[in-house]
Chain A
Amino acid sequence: MNLWGLIIILGSILASTAAFVWVALRLGPSKVKKNGSPLDDATAAVETDVEHIFNDEFREELRNRGRLHFEKIIGENAMFLQQDLRLTTSQLNDYMKQEITKSLQEAFAKYEESIGDAKQLAIDSIAKTQEAVEQQRVEMGNQLQAEVGKEKARIIARFEENLGDIVNHYLLIAIGDQIDLKDQLNYIIGNIESNKAAIIRDITDGS
């Protein structure tokens, strides 16, 4: 029941009351004509009887009944109004719940969508990073392999280049203390003898 229904109920109650009051006023005490015709006498007698029937007590009783009936109707309508208000409040609560739930669901849906997008972005970013890291690892591996190869070649070349020094060093450590100059005398003199002419020429011309 809405407000219009309540207004209609109140209007009907007021209209009933107004009709009752009007009827009561119409049926109020009338003047008895004296010295009239029989019709008039009969009318007067009727009026007297009416006055006798609808006397003040009867009217008071009617008023009380009307009042009680009116109070009853008012009470019933108040109860209906209360029920309608409760119903309206309940419906309003349901409506608000639905609206809030709907809004929240929409917000949650958007939020989930945003989270999903962010998650996808993060996954893509991680995948790209992993790919880049893998690529870099492969490149570094190749580079390291190349560097190791170069270093190996360089060490071998250096070893071969300094092989004389290495062997000499090894011989010095191994038999250095057993090499005697006396044993080398013939070798020394032989080498000087083979370069004798050049040495004499250098000493003679160079000094």
Chain B
Amino acid sequence: MSDGQLTLPVAIVTKADAGRLLREVSAVDEFMDATAIRSPGTPMALPKTSRLMAEIVEVNKLNMLVAEDRANLITYVTHVREKAPEIHISFSAEPSAAFMQKITTYLRENIHPQILLQVGLQPTIGAGFMLRTTNKYYDFSMRTTLKAKRDVLMQNIRAAQAEPELQTAEVTPT
């Protein structure tokens, strides 16, 4: 099975998510291997799994009882964790999960199917976001926009400053 045959669910956003998923899949795989060779009557603890694993199994219609599916999943998640492109995106406030899913969905549909995000918090930017790829940096924050439009702001301020003076001059009797 190649990497392209599996789909990365939008719930897996960061590299930490991929790492956590890999640990869970590995634990399940080890559990299944241990189950195969265990002596009858030996007590065994079922590994705990998260919603991430359930989602990726469901999306890709995998059977975790099949060793090949488990191996493919481990290979895929390992590849994602180590090779998938990662971008850093910063917002002025902590984004909600739903918001991140929408962003992730868009990025995986339009940029790269396995892209991972690293989310940062920059309260000083006011609004908008900042995006950093491997070699580039995009700043779409309100702060930068206001800085870029400083001349317009200055023109407005000067116009507002001159307006009362004109009104005063009109009122003053000559």
Report the bound CA distance from A203 to B93 in whole Å: 26
Given A181-B91, A187-B128, A199-B111, decide whether A164 and B153 contact each other with a Cβ distance below 8 A.
Answer: yes
Interface positions, chain A 148-207, Cβ under 8 Å from B, are 160-161, 163-165, 167-168, 171-172, 176, 179, 181-182, 184-185, 187-189, 191-193, 195-196, 198-200, 202-203, 206-207
Q: Report the minimal beta-carbon distance from B164 to chain A, rounded to whole angstroms.
A: 19
Residue of chain B at shortest CB distance from A183: B127
- Which residues of B are found within 8 Å of A199, using beta-carbon distances? 87, 111, 131, 133, 136, 138
Among B6-14, B15-23, B63-71, B143-151, the stretch that binds chain A is B143-151
Cβ–Cβ contact A184 & B134, under 8 A: no
Q: Is B31 an interface residue (CB 8 A)?
A: no
Given A163-B150, A188-B140, decide whether A203 and B110 contact each other with a Cβ distance below 8 A.
Answer: no
Task: Give B86-122 as 1s and 0s: 1 = Cβ < 8 Å from A's Cβ atoms.
Answer: 0100011101100100110011001110010000000
Residue of chain A at shortest CB distance from B149: A164
**Beyond known contacts A164-B147, A168-B126: 7 more, CB 8 A cutoff:** A164-B143, A164-B146, A168-B125, A176-B126, A181-B92, A184-B127, A207-B85
Cβ–Cβ contact A203 & B95, under 8 A: no
| 21 pairs, CB–CB < 8 Å, chain A vs chain B | A163-B146, A163-B157, A164-B146, A165-B147, A167-B146, A168-B125, A168-B146, A179-B126, A181-B92, A181-B95, A192-B107, A193-B110, A195-B131, A199-B131, A199-B138, A200-B111, A200-B112, A203-B85, A203-B87, A203-B115, A206-B135
Residue of chain B at shortest CB distance from A165: B143
What's the dominant secondary structure at chain A's contact region?
Answer: helix
Task: Give B136-174 as 1s and 0s: 1 = Cβ < 8 Å from A's Cβ atoms.
Answer: 101010111111111001100100000000000000000
- Which residues of A are found within 8 Å of B96, using beta-carbon distances? 181-182
Task: Give B43-80 as 1s and 0s: 1 = Cβ < 8 Å from A's Cβ atoms.
Answer: 00000000000000000000000000000000000000
- Kindly identify which residue among B133, B145, B149, B157 contacts A202, using a CB–CB cutoff of 8 Å: B133
Cβ–Cβ contact B150 & A160, under 8 A: yes
User: Please, how many residues of chain B have a CB less than 8 angstroms from a CB on the other chain?
Assistant: 42
Q: Report the minimal beta-carbon distance from A133 to chain B, rounded to whole angstroms.
A: 41
- What size tier do the contact residues of chain A reach? 20 to 34
- Which residues of B are found within 8 Å of A191, using beta-carbon distances? 129, 138, 140
- Which residues of A are found within 8 Å of B135, using beta-carbon distances? 202, 206
Cβ–Cβ contact A196 & B111, under 8 A: yes
- Which residues of B are found within 8 Å of A195, using beta-carbon distances? 131, 138
Q: Report the minimal beta-carbon distance from A165 to chain B, rounded to whole angstroms.
A: 6
- Kindly identify which residue among B106, B129, B138, B143 contacts A168, using a CB–CB cutoff of 8 Å: B143
Report the bound CA distance from A70 to B111 in whole Å: 163
Q: Report the minimal beta-carbon distance from A74 to chain B, rounded to whole angstroms.
A: 120
Cβ–Cβ contact B115 & A182, under 8 A: no
Cβ–Cβ contact B143 & A198, under 8 A: no
Q: Report the minimal beta-carbon distance from B16 to chain A, rounded to whole angstroms.
A: 19
Cβ–Cβ contact B142 & A171, under 8 A: yes
- Which residues of A are found within 8 Å of B91, using beta-carbon distances? 181
Cβ–Cβ contact B142 & A168, under 8 A: yes
- Which residues of A are found within 8 Å of B146, using beta-carbon distances? 163-165, 167-168
Q: Report the minimal beta-carbon distance from A168 to chain B, rounded to whole angstroms.
A: 4
Q: Report the minimal beta-carbon distance from B83 to chain A, rounded to whole angstroms.
A: 8
Residue of chain A at shortest CB distance from B135: A206
- Which residues of B are found within 8 Å of A187, using beta-carbon distances? 128, 140
Report the bound CA distance from A176 to B157 in whole Å: 22
- Which residues of B are found within 8 Å of A207, using beta-carbon distances? 85, 134
